[in-house]
Amino acid sequence: MEESRKRSDKRNKSLKSRIQQPSLKREASFREGVCPVAKKCGGCRYSGVPYQEQLAKKQKQVEQLLKGFGKVNRIIGMDKPEHYRNKVHAVYDFQKGKGIVSGIYQENSHDVVAVDSCLLENQKADAIIVSIRELAKSFKIKTYDEDTGYGLLRHVLVRVGHITGQIMVVLVLGSPILPSKKNFVSALCKLHPEITTIVVNVNNKKTSMVLGEKEQVIYGKGYIEDVLCGRTFRISPKSFYQVNSVQTEKLYRKAIEYADLTGEETVIDAYCGIGTIGLAAASDAGEVIGVELNKDAVRDAVINARINQIKNADFYQNDAGRFMVQVAQAQTKVDVVFMDPPRSGSTEEFMDALLQLAPDRIVYISCNPDTLARDLKYLTGAWDKGKTGPGEKVQGQEKAVRYAGKAEGAKGRLSRYRVMEITPVDMFPFTDCIECVTLLQKSN
């Protein structure tokens, strides 16, 4: 009833009124979207918005937030912005009347919405997820019930090497035993011969984390390899790897251009994941030092240096802040720091040590413009000029004041930085996520 009334209201609107309300029209097209589950999923904020318009919106947003710090370049977009995600996650559930479904969690809930294909995701990965659902039915594998803890199949994670085509399937189970394991593996590989490895991950905790601690390789090597910026990278199930390979190349090239290396520099790659940025830059640097918290990622980074015969790169497993304090205390001379923290941004500990280390250039890669703005404020001393930065919005007034006050207290003792350029890179088309790479230069 409600639906039909809405529709007839729409028909009754005159052409004139629709022309005069372009934003309303756009809003409607976003809500209807091109994807049948756009509203429930909430992942594609820009579903139904033409790509050029998405880029313009992101550009405007970055400019509004960051142009006070320095020049904002034009956003680097994609030629073909669909199906870019090389990592695809699905949750499995049993629903009355439907049987086993695979898909995504509804936004802000733990209800599962059935999804067979997605505009963002790699299509082979989507097909594998559907096949696993069908195989689960024929192998009589029950889905895991988050409330009771009964059942087996919980999530599937598929990772696809963009250049190599290697595919990893991670079956996340509530307990370690997959019945008829051999037959299941051979049936899945028969349907999808492109699969190069299958890993069982055990997660029996009440948690929103997808992966648990324990892992068992049941087919292939237990990892995939991919090629980025001419280097080969090994990627383990729990290691971070950028989800949009095409744009990652552009992002890293911009970051390395900003680093302006001559072959002599000591470079830190902080929050380095599997070492991708540091190893891509190593041939232009004197020495690369990487630091990362996740131990599997650090192991991958060490092996990645070896695979690519890179001898001037070392990787350490540590909290990046703690590590930077140690480097600063040792009075190591560092020329360039790449920093690529998670969405929450960096920490006071990290940035205080960074200001003490005083590299000539900082290349800050960020997937969250709000925390980027907060951290730039810290590194540039923008609070001095009476500017109110967006830090308050992110952390709350109290935190921002404490933050600014602390660094101000250290004024004179620490180096200051100037933002030279900010380049947004569209790593996540159709979503409202924005990635930026920023060059900061020491100014005193």
Which residue ranges make up the site for ligand SAH (CB under 6 A)? Answer: 240-242, 271-273, 276-277, 291-294, 297, 319-320, 340, 342
Cβ–Cβ under 8 Å, residues 221 and 67: no
Burial class (CB in 10 A: 0-12, 13-18, 19+), 154: buried
Annotated active-site positions, please? 367
Supply the minimum distance, in Å, between the C-beta of residue 164 and ligand SAH. 17
Nearer to ligand SAH, 69 or 241 (CB): 241
Supply the minimum distance, in Å, between the C-beta of residue 182 and ligand SAH. 34
Nearer to ligand SAH, 135 or 293 (CB): 293
Burial class (CB in 10 A: 0-12, 13-18, 19+), 55: buried
Nearer to ligand SAH, 126 or 375 (CB): 375
Q: How far apart are CA 269 and CA 313, in angstroms?
A: 10
Nearer to ligand SAH, 184 or 350 (CB): 350
Q: In what order do the strands lie in the sheet with 313-317?
A: 71-72, 417-425, 435-442, 361-366, 336-339, 266-270, 287-292, 313-317
Neighbouring CB atoms inside 10 A of 308's CB total 18
Cβ–Cβ under 8 Å, residues 157 and 195: no
Cβ–Cβ under 8 Å, residues 363 and 272: no
Cβ–Cβ under 8 Å, residues 245 and 238: no
Return the amino acid letter for 6.
K
Nearer to ligand SAH, 69 or 240 (CB): 240
Supply the minimum distance, in Å, between the C-beta of residue 140 and ligand SAH. 37
At 218 the three-state DSSP class reads strand
Supply the minimum distance, in Å, between the C-beta of residue 80 and ligand SAH. 22
Nearer to ligand SAH, 38 or 320 (CB): 320
Q: Nearest residue by C-beta to ligand SAH?
A: 273
What secondary structure does DSSP assign to 373-406, as a single string? Answer: HHHHHHHHTGGGGT---THHHHH-HHHHHHHHHH
Nearer to ligand SAH, 29 or 317 (CB): 317
Supply the minimum distance, in Å, between the C-beta of residue 78 and ligand SAH. 18
- Cα 33 off chain centre by: 24
Alpha carbon distance, N-terminus to C-terminus of the chain: 68
Phi, psi of 279 (to 5 degrees): -75, -30
Angle, helices 51-66/369-380, rounded to nearest 10 degrees: 30
Q: How far apart are CA 385 and CA 323, in angstroms?
A: 31
Residues 6+ apart with CB under 8 A from 353: 321, 324, 325, 327, 328
Supply the minimum distance, in Å, between the C-beta of residue 239 and ligand SAH. 7
Token pair belonging to 403: 């933050």
Supply the minimum distance, in Å, between the C-beta of residue 55 and ligand SAH. 22
Nearer to ligand SAH, 56 or 293 (CB): 293
Supply the minimum distance, in Å, between the C-beta of residue 194 and ligand SAH. 24
Q: How far apart are CA 77 and CA 54, in angstroms?
A: 10
Rounded to whole angstroms, what are the CA distances from 251 to 300, 384, 401, 437? 21, 31, 32, 7
